[in-house]
Amino acid sequence: MARACKNCPLYVQQLGIDLSDWDYLVALAGNPNTGKSTLFNRLTGLKQHVGNWPGKTVSRAEGGFEFNGKRYKLVDLPGTYSLLSASVEEEIARDFILFGNPDAVIVVMDATAIERNLNLTLQILEITDRVVIALNLMDEARRKGIHVDHRRLARELGVPVVPIVARTGEGLGYLMQALEDVIEGRVRTHPRRIPLDPALEHAVAELVPLIEEAFPGVRNARWIAIRLLDGDPSIERAVKTGELKRLISGELPGDFLEAVGEQTSTESGEEYPPGVLILQKADLLRMALEEDFRDKLVEDIYNEAARIARLVVRIENPEALTWDERIDRIVTHPVWGLPIMLLGLALAFWVTVVGANYPSELLATVLFAVENIGSRIFDALGMPWWITGFLWHGVYRGLAWVVSVMLPPMAIFFPIFTTLEDLGYLPRVAFNMDWLFKRVGAHGKQALTMTMGFGCNAAGVIATRIIESPRERLIAILTNNFVPCNGRWPTLIMLGTVFVASAFPPGFAAFAAAGSIVGAVLVGILFTFIVSWLLSHTLLKGEPSAFTLELPPYRRPDFKRILYTSFIDRTIFVLWRALYMAAPAGGLIWILANVHIHGRSLVHIIASFLDPFGRLFGLDGVIILSYIVAIPANEIVVPTMIMAYSGASTVMELENLHALKELLVGQAGWTLLTAISLMLFAVLHNPCSTTILTIWKETGSKKWTLVGALMPLGIAFLVTFLVAQTWHLLGLPLTP
């Protein structure tokens, strides 16, 4: 059937984000790494609504498609292994299946790991009987010699099972047909219920009638009883307040997704007496159970999963060393592992830096040409000079600058990163590097979020969601700033080429420049480790900690999805940021440069006020001012400094490096110390406002946001102060 479908036409019409008046609501559930999002994209097309679940830092995607004249709304649930652990992802998935009243749930299963995937599947079958199983990755299973008897699986589970290959679209037609059949009642499902431990079964049997009496029409009393015995806070609340009644009857305001967010945030004081009674009964029954009854529950589910898997899966020559294992042996090899990793990362950066050069210049030329034309039109229209200046030479120029510096490297770096992620290589990097992170009390996956930080620290902070342990995740969030992001590279590159390179003979110049930049990055990484160690031994003592790392099988990346996620999720995010953050900064710079008091510009006045402060750290007033102005976007540090030194009235670029050096050393009085201090400051100083905002959103805590913002700033000042004072004490040379 699976093979035959390669030729069968697919009647699925992708609807993208047109989610108005759908006929059926369908949820997509499954383990991580089962190709769930590939299937989602296949069905809904590339236009989808991507955001977070209300009030949660878990991403959520929605899309629509049409099949046989019916409109379906598809909601992608977070990928989880289970619904029992009450992690945020599991709570969202569970709440949606339980209370979202989906017309059906598609459970995506990985055909190469049936036993593991059955764990979640069996749990979902406990909650709802409107389930269709999409047995994905059939091609991979065939390649690995794994045969899955999907008909037998369907009989065992009591719901339709459709083999598919989401990447190629194989079998999707059958999947849609099965989905429609289940929703419209043409296929009646008889989902398998997990056989429970006798003691637990006894307790559940006591609760079920009470629940059914208190909440007439409830479809999954058995599951609710299990959750009450387990002490699930959100279910308890729903029972205690009687909220469950409203949830069952579907009396929910318009969009359920919003309702779940509200429901958990609003704490209504009223109590529903039968509900309170049920809770008391559950308390009593829980006491009669062994303390490890949760272990037994999971064990029962997995035992059932193993039993079914034995019946339906047949593996040809299971002992053969698979390709995956061979690759794993190489990439984690004591001799080859590290060089492969460093080479890979170096290549990724090289491609990014070199590849971004040309588009960056092109963008700058085009965008600045637009500025010229725009300002001339304004002039021709007879606008006052200050309107033209503020809008075109201030706001627009700030914007153009950030976009041209930032966009091309992002557009190259993020797809490379996502490709490595999809390929399955990045988890191996985490595996290789974990011993180092373990020593400082951090998680191996922090290696990945740091790599992401080279692209953008805000993106790096969001990427820490892959770290499931709260304490290690906080460490990764708070230290991400120590890897210099795209916006800080220009500063480092400028300093490396202008100051360091020129101190060496021409043959060595390029190496010296590169060496100094690498040195600065290494300082940042060093501080990541020092600060991680300090945090895990002081502030973060007493935060929950755990380590598990899944090494998914290597997979051919889905390039369409990669381009989509890296462009929409990450690159567009940066563009928005440019609009919101860089535009006002550009306007501010223009005002500072063009408002004069007693013949001196504001830049001048403020810079000379800050100068003695800056000198303490080997910097000067202009640099401090530039960093204050650049809080929204670090890209504008260098242009702001040039503007302030040259006395120009707008942000500008200099003809060549020689002129730049002339300006900085000749006019501004920079020394070698200034360059070194600035390099250190650029790497260590506070995160930009977007990153701070992201830290706040991700941690939901003012305290950690404050720590994340002020701790690096304090360290930057401390380090530069020590360096500058030591330099002075030792009487080291100042001339570069």
Partner 1 sequence: MSWLLIPALILLVVLGLRLWEEYRIRRRDTLEDAIKYLYDCEEQNRHATPEALAGRLGLSTRATHRLLRRMAQRGLIRFCGTRVCLTPAGKALGLQLLRAHRLWERYLSDFTDVPLAEIHRLADKREHHLTPEEIQALEATLGYPRQDPHGDPIPTEKGETRAEVGVPLTDWPVGKPARIVHVEDEPEDLFAQALAEGLLPGVDVVIVEARPEGLHLKVDGNDVWIASIIAAQVHVIPAPQQVEEEHPPMSLADLTLGEKARVLGIAKDVRGLLRRRLLDLGFTRGAVVQEVLESAFGHGDPKAYRVRGTLIALRREQAARIYAEPVEDNEE
Distance (Å, whole) CA 369 – CA 363:
10
Tokens in use for 203?
Answer: 């307790």
| Binding residues among 335-364 for partner 1 as defined by CB under 8 A | 337-338
Cβ pair 681, 662 in contact under 8 A: no
**Does residue 327 interact with partner 1 by CB under 8 A?**
no
Q: How far apart are CA 161 and CA 151, in angstroms?
A: 7
Q: Coil, strand, or helix at residue 402?
A: helix
Shortest spacing between CB 585 and partner 1, in angstroms: 24
The one-character DSSP state at 578 is I
Piece of the chain touching partner 1 by CB under 8 A; list 162-170, 427-435, 481-489, 640-648: 427-435
Smallest gap from residue 280 Cβ to partner 1 (A): 11
Are 478 and 531 spatial neighbours (Cβ–Cβ below 8 Å)?
yes
Minimum CB distance to partner 1, residue 522 (Å) = 18
Question: Smallest distance from the beta carbon of 288 to partner 1, in angstroms?
Answer: 5
Q: How many CB atoms lie within 10 A of CB 510?
A: 13
The verdict on 306 binding partner 1 (CB under 8 A) reads yes
**Stretch 686-715 residues interacting with partner 1 (CB under 8 A):** none
Within residues 114-153, the interface with partner 1 by CB under 8 A covers 114-116, 119
Residue 401: partners with Cβ closer than 8 Å, 6 or more residues away: 364, 582, 586, 635, 636, 639, 651
Rank residues 455 and 552 by Cβ distance to partner 1 and give the closer one: 552
Stretch that binds partner 1, among 111-119, 182-190, 384-392, 674-682 (CB under 8 A): 111-119
Per the DSSP assignment, residues forming a β-bridge with 110 are 136
Secondary structure (DSSP) of 373-408 = HHHHHHHHTT--HHHHIIIIIIIIHHHHHHHHHHHH
Compute CA distances 612 → 82, 608, 636, 676, whole Å. Answer: 59, 8, 23, 18
Lay out the site mask for partner 1 across 74-93 (x = CB under 8 A, - = otherwise): -------xx-xxx-------
Pairing of the two strands 24-30 and 70-76: parallel
Distance CA 516, CA 500 (A): 7
The residue (of 389 and 553) whose beta carbon lies closer to partner 1 is: 553
Footprint of partner 1 on 150-209 (CB under 8 A)? 198-199, 202-203, 206
Q: How far apart are CA 57 and CA 89, in angstroms?
A: 9
Provide DSSP, 175-192.
Answer: HHHHHHHHHTTSS---PP
Shortest CA distance to 576 belongs to which of 372, 335, 406? 406
| Contacting residue, 216, 334, 599, 733, with partner 1 by CB under 8 A | 334
Compute the chain's Rg from CA coordinates.
Answer: 30
176 contacts 12 by C-beta, under 8 angstroms: yes
Footprint (CB under 8 A) of partner 1, residues 550-579: 550-553
Report the site for partner 1 in 394-423 (rule: CB under 8 A): none
**Binding residues for partner 1, how many (CB under 8 A)?**
75
CB 234 within 8 A of CB 241: no
As measured in angstroms, the least distance from the Cβ of 42 to partner 1 is: 24
Report if residue 367 touches partner 1, rule: CB under 8 A: no
- Indicate the pairing of strand 59-67 with strand 49-52: antiparallel
Residue span 446-475 as binding mask against partner 1, x where in contact by CB under 8 A, dash where not: ----------------------xx-x----
Query: Which of 64-72, 455-463, 547-555, 674-682 is the region at the interface with partner 1 (rule: CB under 8 A)?
Result: 547-555
Q: Does 543 bind partner 1 (CB under 8 A)?
A: yes
CB of residue 613 to partner 1, shortest distance in Å = 7
Using the rule CB under 8 A, give the single segment among 36-44, 378-386, 545-553, 663-671 that binds partner 1. Answer: 545-553
Q: Rounded to whole angstroms, how far apart are CA atoms 347 and 370?
A: 34
Q: How far is the CB of 80 from partner 1 (least distance, A)?
A: 8
Instruction: Show the binding pattern over residues 612-651: x = contacts partner 1 (CB under 8 A), - = does not.
Output: xx--------------------------------------
Binder of partner 1 out of 184, 271, 325, 662 (CB under 8 A) = 325
Q: Which of residues 217-246 bind partner 1 (CB under 8 A)?
A: 230-233, 236
Options 128-136, 176-184, 291-299, 348-356: segment touching partner 1 (CB under 8 A): 291-299
Q: Closest CB to partner 1 among 335 and 380? A: 335
Binding residue (CB under 8 A) for partner 1 from 223, 256, 302, 573:
302
Task: With residue 109 as reference, give the H or E element that holds it.
Answer: strand 104-110
CB 67 within 8 Å of CB 180: yes
Nearer to partner 1, 576 or 609 (CB): 609
- Contacting partner 1 (CB under 8 A), which of 285, 535, 665, 675? 285
CA distance 170 to 7: 9
Which of 47, 286, 555, 697 is in the footprint of partner 1 by CB under 8 A?
286
The per-residue DSSP string of 602-638 comes to: HHHHHHHHHHHHHHHTT--HHHHHHHHHTSS-GGGHH
Q: H or E segment at 658? A: helix 657-661
Q: Which is closer to partner 1, CB of 199 or CB of 367?
A: 199
Among 89, 91, 126, 434, binds partner 1 (CB under 8 A): 434
Part of the chain binding partner 1 (CB under 8 A), chosen from 109-117, 131-139, 214-222, 386-394: 109-117
CB 434 → partner 1: shortest distance, Å? 5
* Identified binder of partner 1 from the candidate list 216, 253, 435, 597, rule CB under 8 A: 435
Q: Tokens 């300090």 sit at which residue?
A: 534
Under 8 Å CB-to-CB from 288, ≥6 apart: which residues?
Answer: 199, 203
- We find the least distance from the C-beta atom of residue 459 to partner 1, in angstroms, to be 25
CB atoms within 10 A of CB 187: 16
Q: Are 620 and 668 in contact (CB under 8 A)?
A: yes
Taking every pair of C-alpha atoms in the chain, what is the biggest distance, in angstroms?
89
87 closest CA partner among 505, 466, 578, 637? 466
Minimum CB separation from partner 1 for residue 702, in Å?
15
Q: Which of 213, 609, 659, 728 binds partner 1 (CB under 8 A)?
A: 609
Looking at residues 3 to 62 of the shown chain, list those that interact with partner 1 (rule: CB under 8 A): none
